[in-house]
Amino acid sequence: MAEAPVRPTLFVLLAQDGFLTATRPALRHAVKVLVESNPNRWEFLWSWFDELYCLLELTLQHHYLTSTGASFSENFYGLKRVPQFPRSTKGWLPLREHRVSLLLLVAGPYLRVKLTKLFQRLRDERDFGVVFPHTARARLQQLFLSTYPFAVLMWEGITLNYQLCYALGKVKRHSILLWFAGVYLSHLTSQDTAKLAKQLQEGENFSHEAGLIGRIASTLKSVYSGTTVSISSAFSILVFFLQFLEYWYAAGAREATAADPFGPWCPTPPAPTHLEVHGESTEKCPICLQPRSNPAVLSTSGYVFCYPCVYNYIRTHRSCPVTGCPSSPRQMVRLFAPDHHGP
């Protein structure tokens, strides 16, 4: 006789929701440290971090949805996905539920990260006056800046409503994403544990009984499965270390900000001696080599640039274009010439 699905508590569901979310910033900081040790070799890891992390998630989630009927974090907490409308299938989930679950687990977080980064970049450009306010592109950007916070607030409100209704026993799911996927979560039963053990045993028996081609296929499948399991095991072990690393890094950042709210200390560079040669004008921007428009001085070095030039450079390289001193857009100061209107 099959056991009835066991309804997990809201605390377990919230813990598994934040399991991988907490590792992203810590893993990103670990990649940043690696890149800073050898930028030429590891720069691509930083540039393509979101895409590489998405590929890693795709591999893990596909493996676990196929072999256990749950995501990586759900399986870690002993949960499984149960179709709302069960249909006969050889695997854990029907094809439709499997594909939609994989899409929401991988593409959803990736899209939100990209939209958040775009919002932050456009907001900085607007605050620092880099974008011209009367173009069609600027109007579209302003529309996005105005609507995105409300969209995030609405999404968070829907999520909170689902969680409260689940805690009160009004709904079967704590997340609207599970509703889209057509599944709900429950604890693994003894039959599920026996099924997992049977799958492992059948895989071992097949590798012994199959012919050469079957053994090669089984070996490739075992390599893929072993690689995925190794990665997931590493995540399971390192997740606590990564969370500690995130806490340590955040604490260090807070101390640095408290000690110097204007940014990292940098030695005062020597006065430039090469900007005025043979009577040439010193009103040129060191980046575009054209007469400065909308001038701005970088407080970490004292050099004056065109505001759009230095902003775009610092946003990409995080350093002064001339001295290489670590800098941020908040260390830029716009310069305004006084009006000289005589009587």
Residue 269 bridge partners (DSSP): none
Token pair for residue 29? 């900081």
How far out from the chain centre does Cα 221 lie? 29
Packing angle of the helix pair 10-21, 136-167 (nearest 10 deg): 150
- The torsion angles phi and psi of 319, rounded to 5 degrees, stand at -155, 165
What pLDDT was estimated at residue 233?
54
What pLDDT was estimated at residue 342?
44
What pLDDT was estimated at residue 279?
45
Q: Report the C-alpha gap between 44 and 35 in whole angstroms.
A: 9
> Where do the DSSP E strands lie in the chain?
79-83, 183-187, 295-298, 304-306, 332-334
- Residue 305: strand, helix, or coil: strand
What pLDDT was estimated at residue 112?
92
Q: Report the C-alpha gap between 87 and 185 in whole angstroms.
A: 17
Q: What's the number of CA atoms in the CB half-sphere (13 Å) around residue 2?
A: 6
Q: Give the closest residue to 179 by CA, choosing from 199, 158, 206, 208.
A: 158
Task: Look at the domain 265-337 and name its fold.
Answer: Herpes Virus-1 (3.30.40)
What pLDDT was estimated at residue 340?
45
Region(s) of the chain under CATH 3.30.40.10: 265-337
What pLDDT was estimated at residue 338?
65
Give this prediction's pTM.
Answer: 0.64
What pLDDT was estimated at residue 101?
92
Listed as ranges, residues in the chain with pLDDT below 70 are 1-5, 88-91, 127-133, 199-282, 337-343
